[in-house]
Structure 1
């Protein structure tokens, strides 16, 4: 790890503490314009999410019906009933996005896959930057909102399901995250910038509770309208 990444990890609770836990659970409320662009309805109902910390696996409940949940891994997405029944399944789910653009409609399995890898990415950041298959380099500092931010660029191996192979993470002088940039490969590869804020702490791990994703300009500026995705987290705990 770079010295900067070491200090960022320590500011978020440290690897020793992180490695004491295997899952994180919490309540998520999602909104934004992306869902309508994909032909989907997004309500403001709270849902429970579960993310596994040391394997790429995630689940959200309810999904589509009160007794249904998602089951995400990189090579499979499924919708299940709470008693284990299979509602729908797709193997090699990434391949199902071939040819998609920004407004290509998604079916429930597309949405479940996107939710799964996105939540796993967000809830394991910045610790996922220490994983095998992730290469990290420090870029020149970035100025925004009257601050100068540290900037790390991560390159992810194809075995890790996430937004795009190259992503940038921005951290303030307090070493907490301010912004997360990526391309949404499953939606035509458009450039996105996610503002990250309102940190909380649970079980000694620090994490942001608010994320707001927007389009990103060619100069890496944030395009403030429309708001593509909003994510609010609460009741987070590690176990």
Structure 2
């Protein structure tokens, strides 16, 4: 584990504390321009989730809209809360072949994207200590009057995520400030994901708010439009 990774893992609560927990539960709202572009504007408002912290498995429920969905890298399933008229897609990533940033999604497309994205966000930076991940510290970055240390992370093929290579930025306190990636399932769209409003949840520092923008060739944030907003209303960690 690199020195920077060791420091940021400790700042977020420490690996010994993290390994006590097996699952995360949360209530949250997701919005932003991407969902209108993709034809699913309100799908993830007022949702609840349960996520495994050791493997990629996320269950998402919308109590008000009356649906539930399950994400794994190999399959997504969507249906009503009474399990009627459920639909499933195997090898879901293959269904994005030929997609551009403007291609509309069905609900299974949206569920796969949201499932892997939330799982990634909930587990960073501890995720980077899991088997198969490779990290490299990059030169410092100046933004918002702060100096941020940067970690380039190469994901193993076994993990579904935005892209194989991603960059995380950490403040002087060791907490995640920004997370950059390209989105393979959106034709390589770029995302700068800003984390804020930290809360200590059972000893783990969790950003309760995320805001995603595009970035330009110099990696400078493009302020408009707000692509994705994520606001956690509640979050907790459990042991099985």
Give your verdict on TM over 0.5: yes
Give the match for residue 10 of structure 1: 10
1:102 Cα deviation from its structure 2 partner: 0.4
Alpha carbons 1:63, 1:70 under 8 Å: kept:
no
SS of structure 2 residue aligned to 1:114: helix
Alpha carbons 2:46, 2:64 under 8 Å: kept:
no
Runs of 5+ in structure 2 lacking a partner? none
Alpha carbons 2:27, 2:48 under 8 Å: kept:
yes
Matched residues in 2 for 1:141 and 1:12: separation?
20
Give the match for residue 47 of structure 1: 47
Matched residues in 2 for 1:207 and 1:51: separation?
15
Alpha carbons 1:78, 1:86 under 8 Å: kept:
no
1:180 Cα deviation from its structure 2 partner: 0.5
Which whole-Å deviations, capped at 9, do the CAs of 1:56-100 have from their partners, x for residues lacking one?
A: 11111118941x211111011111444555601000000000110
Give the match for residue 144 of structure 2: 145
Give the match for residue 224 of structure 1: 223
TM-score (norm. length: structure 1) = 0.95
Alpha carbons 2:31, 2:45 under 8 Å: kept:
no
Matched residues in 1 for 2:105 and 2:121: separation?
21
SS of structure 2 residue aligned to 1:6: helix
Alpha carbons 1:12, 1:207 under 8 Å: kept:
yes
Runs of 5+ in structure 1 lacking a partner? none
Alpha carbons 2:178, 2:194 under 8 Å: kept:
yes
TM-score (norm. length: structure 2) = 0.95
Give the match for residue 186 of structure 1: 185
Give the match for residue 118 of structure 1: 117
SS of structure 1 residue aligned to 2:7: helix
Give the match for residue 176 of structure 1: 175
Q: How does 1:46-125 map to 2 (within 5 A)?
A: 46-62=46-62, 65-66=65-66, 68-82=67-81, 87-125=86-124
1:196 Cα deviation from its structure 2 partner: 1.1
Alpha carbons 2:31, 2:41 under 8 Å: kept:
no
Matched residues in 1 for 2:39 and 2:70: separation?
22
1:211 Cα deviation from its structure 2 partner: 0.5
Matched residues in 2 for 1:44 and 1:73: separation?
18
Which whole-Å deviations, capped at 9, do the CAs of 1:176-203 have from their partners, x for residues lacking one?
A: 0110000011000111111111100111
1:149 Cα deviation from its structure 2 partner: 0.2
Matched residues in 1 for 2:45 and 2:104: separation?
22
Give the match for residue 25 of structure 1: 25
Alpha carbons 2:23, 2:50 under 8 Å: kept:
yes
Q: Aligned residues, how many?
A: 238
